[in-house]
Amino acid sequence: MVTPPIHTVLLVDDNSDDCEIVKEAWGEVPVGQELRFVHDGHELLDYLYRRGPFSDRACSPRPSVILLDLNMPHMTGGEVLTEIKKDPSLACIPVVVLTTSKAPKDICQTAGLGVNGYIHKPNSYKGYLQLLDNLRKNWREILEQPLSGSGGDWSGHVAWC
């Protein structure tokens, strides 16, 4: 199997500081051709369905991977993940959870929904550099297999990024 390249990484995070640090780290360790941001679950769905300000395909390319925060206002990451996985046209987009939560229930729930990885947010710039480098190096594995236990039988192994 030929692994498709990473073109667009879409970060979904309501924390502007986290978005800024990812943007800075991306400057040193670019994972794909471009990094885009949306700030909550509703905005993510608008982006994916090309509604409102995202209606122009050139300005809102289909993401190669979604980095999804769980703890967001209006619509949680879990809720938006459920919506994505229900739609066959979106379900094939790899989703890697990037969150502050280490709660086993969050890991199990998202694994059961078929995420491709679960990453605890780093607490340093160096940690974000390592995260992006690992994402780039492990791209093939991220595409090929959802997080261990997808389907509700989580094995306890968290993502490699």
Assigned domain for 72 exists: yes
| Number of domains the chain is built from | 1
CA 63 to chain centre: 10
Instruction: Give the list of residues 6+ apart from residue 63 with CB closer than 8 angstroms, or none.
Output: 8, 9, 10, 36, 48, 93
pLDDT value of position 41: 95
Q: Read off the CATH number of the domain in which 35 is found.
A: 3.40.50.2300
Assigned domain for 1 exists: no
Give, in degrees to the nearest 5, the angle at Cα 131 between 103 and 79: 40
Assigned domain for 105 exists: yes
Q: What is the residue range of 125's domain?
A: 8-144
pLDDT tens column, 83-92: 999 999 999 9
**pLDDT at position 113 over 70:** yes
pLDDT tens column, 11-69: 999 999 999 999 999 999 988 889 999 999 999 999 999 999 999 988 899 998 999 99
